[in-house]
Structure 1
């Protein structure tokens, strides 16, 4: 009798509480990059590589300076100034100012369930999940367990030495 009560209590409790989706927040600074009007494509390339979103672009009146205003996640901003100076040969001068926190829209523990999701994302579906990437990076930094395969396709690996 006790098992029946315990099982029914468990079922009713889990039915009453909907499954939650954890919210992950990321710090988001505003990036202002001043550059000559001839070279903005290089800045756009670096921003898109680092998950940045361009908010505004304007030409400063009375000067030959093009200003690009964008939002960039803090996790992607480390080394941003060096890379942008390297790509533009020192012609760009970036400035990062923290403004707000943003919710990461993806669920780090999401797995594909329908056939359509399997076809679109594949079996693992971890390539496009930015939240999972950040969670795993924090877990690695703290020395916690991260579920990852060291060798994905063991059959495909071979030695480079030639047998004679």
Structure 2
């Protein structure tokens, strides 16, 4: 995988922006329940609840920052390469049994796209950075499998 910004499909970018808006709304709702410095915390149960809400705000802040970084990086990434597999690539692979399949490498799982493999899945991560003719090995519940990259398209 390259060190620079990774391409992202328009659908995935819309999904990230939608998630970002939802996370910001959720964060605002949780943050408003946190006590200020001058507010006294009651018993231990109140204190535990306060800590749990603070942890939730921190978790939301972390996810928001990661999405914001990805959205910023996607703006300058350009179209997926046809030389090597990256996020956004369409890849035809030939499996050990001789069957071929064309998959789309994406960042976000999409139940409506049965040909999508996420970049962090075993097959998706094995494909990243590979070129036509390369053999990849990836994990399956039945053990390691091999596949050959037949072609890479944007």
Normalised TM-score (structure 2)? 0.22
Structure with bigger gyration radius: 1
Q: TM-score, normalised by structure 1?
A: 0.21
